[in-house]
Amino acid sequence: MLGWILGSGFLGQSFAQDGLGGAAADAELVETRTEIPRLKAAAPYQMKDNTVDVELSEYAGYSGLIVANNGLQPNENSLFFKKYGFKVRLTLSEEENWSAVNSGRIAVSATTTDVLAAYGKQFEVVVPAQIGYSRGADGIVVRSDIKRINQLKGKVLATAQFTEADFFVRYLAQEAGIEINMLGDLSDKPDPEKINLVFCADAFGAGDLFLRDLKAGRNRLAGCVTWAPKTTEVVDASGGKASLLTTNRNLLIVADVLIVNKGFAQAHPDIVKGLVEGLLAGNQMVRENPDAHLETLSKAFGWDKTQIKEELTKVHLSNLPENIAFFNGTIDSAGSFSGIYQSAVLAYGSDLIKNPPDSDRFVDLRHLESLDKSGVFRGQKISIAPIRSSSGIGTIEGDPLLTKDIRFYFEPNSAVLDMNNPTNAENLESISKMLKVSPGSTILLRGHVDNALVEQFRRQGGEPFVRQMSLKAMQLSKDRANAVRKKLLETYKLDENRVESVGRGWEEPTGTDPEKNRRVEVQWFTIE
């Protein structure tokens, strides 16, 4: 989970000088980029002194690499040296380093899958392994009256552009069927039909900007998208004015992967294999006995042991079978590499990501496959499960994270899904993906029919006839929602307790358009 700083030019606009709401409060804002930043030209990394340079951010998700290396500095007690004969120098930095790995200044780094989609063909790196999932480090903090993503339509959020925080809110907006609009600054008029974003130099700055807006009594920002510990700091300091709408604790679409300079990877496949095995071995060591490695991690991160324990609860360090399932797309309890990659392409849109390459361009699975055949990690199993809060599993008794209306097509005057219509299959797949990327989440399908004939029924038989037809409409909407539920369970082998359905007849029209009123509303309840 990386928080790279993008953009160094602070906005020069002049805002009214009204204390916390004035220009000083907007200092974190940077210029909104309308194009993906250009990286330095690709060149192979040249190893010196038998040492590989690896640059990472200060994030507990990289604990396995640190433990495998027995600290940050090159040494002969690392797993990399003992088995493969090379040393590793780990450097922790929050500076943007994509150009550094692309141009060969460093050999290896880590990024989230969405970043690969953003930088596309200019990014000459190889992805040989997944490091893990962020499980609660990223979050959306909002004003306390906002309870779901849909309520952010027409409002403004602050975040850091082209980071996993930017992708996180875009992904959720995409799932809710809401478009994103990028503002140049806070003086721009928000689009009332979209979620509007302004950008800060980093995600911590976005949290600070939102907090100052709250304290100044202004209403320019509805929230921020940032990461821990800033998420908690903003809520605690808001005096009850802000709350955490959601984190990615059980929304596993922020996935860290190892990236290796492509020229170096091609010239030294044995070293890449050693990096992959060392990473997986280190992940296993931390997963099985985190307390045994607190001293090593404390020295590396400069954190006390209590903080390390807390930060480790916000990550899932991936093992070998989880890696293979992640890249093969067979994982059914989290986001896959290709799924997240494609979601990022769609979330950013063609205006920002032009002619993206296929996700396969980056992946090299030969080292994972070799380790699988060797049996070195025999006995490991996929073990991604919901992280439950005090309220337990996702439930329809609370507020859904988001809702979306989907038009399913049925055979005439019936509740039989028309599976010859490709749109139905696409819609079923989109719902199943929502459940897959969020362990423990539940879906409520709310069936609706249109109310176009109500006045005709009233003329035919008055209110008694309207009530009679209303009951039939209620049953039809229930039957159609049940038909969608049944098809979901049959096709994707889902736990039946994770999908519920209800019929609402014509009682909740979205407007006067009959086409839009004939719909199934999908409500997504996640664990928080």
For residue 346, the model assigns a pLDDT of: 94
Q: What domains sit in the chain, N to C, each tagged with a CATH number?
A: 51-134+252-374 (3.40.190.10), 138-247 (3.40.190.10), 402-525 (3.30.1330.60)
For residue 55, the model assigns a pLDDT of: 97
Ranges of beta strands (E only) in 242-334 are 242-247, 255-261, 315-317
DSSP secondary structure letters along 445-492: EEEE---TTHHHHHHHHHHHHHHHHHHHHHHHHHHHHHHHHHHHHHHH
CB contact at 8 A, 434 and 442 = no
CB contact at 8 A, 165 and 200 = no
Give dist(CA 512, CA 435) in Å, integer: 32
pTM: 0.88
End-to-end CA distance of the chain: 20
CB contact at 8 A, 445 and 522 = yes
Give dist(CA 12, CA 9) in Å, integer: 9
CB contact at 8 A, 480 and 412 = no
What proportions of the chain, in percent to the nearest 5, are helix, strand and coil? 40, 20, 40
Q: Per residue of the chain (528 residues), what is the pLDDT tens digit? A: 443 333 323 333 323 333 344 444 566 799 999 999 999 999 999 999 999 999 999 999 999 999 999 999 999 999 999 999 999 999 998 777 899 999 999 999 999 999 999 999 999 999 999 999 999 989 999 999 999 999 999 999 999 999 999 999 999 999 999 999 999 999 999 999 999 999 999 999 999 999 999 999 999 999 999 998 899 999 999 999 999 999 999 999 999 999 999 999 999 999 999 999 999 999 999 999 999 999 999 999 999 999 999 999 999 999 999 999 999 999 988 999 999 999 999 999 999 999 999 999 999 999 999 999 999 999 999 999 998 765 444 444 568 999 988 888 877 667 888 888 899 999 999 999 999 999 989 999 988 766 555 556 666 666 665 566 566 666 777 888 899 999 999 999 889 999 998 876 666 566 666 556 567 788 899 987
Residue tagged 């969608």 (tokens): 484
Number of neighbouring beta carbons within 10 Å of residue 425: 14
For residue 459, the model assigns a pLDDT of: 67
Give dist(CA 111, CA 187) in Å, integer: 33
Sheet of 195-200, strands arranged across: 180-182, 195-200, 156-160, 223-227, 138-143, 242-247
Residue 403 dihedral angles phi and psi, to the nearest 5°: -130, 155
Name 187's Cβ contacts closer than 8 Å, sequence gap at least 6.
13, 15
Residue 503's H or E segment, with its range, is strand 499-503
DSSP secondary structure letters along 109-168: EEEEHHHHHHHGGG--EEEEEEEEEESSSEEEEEETT--SGGGGTT-EEEEETTSHHHHH
Alpha helices in 289-376 (DSSP H): 294-301, 305-312, 320-328, 337-348, 366-374
- CA torsion through residues 123, 125, 131, 132, sign: positive
Paired with 226 in beta bridges are 139
Name 465's Cβ contacts closer than 8 Å, sequence gap at least 6.
457, 458
Closest CA to 158 of 7, 30, 15: 30
- Structure tokens, 161: 């552009």
Give dist(CA 394, CA 27) in Å, integer: 39
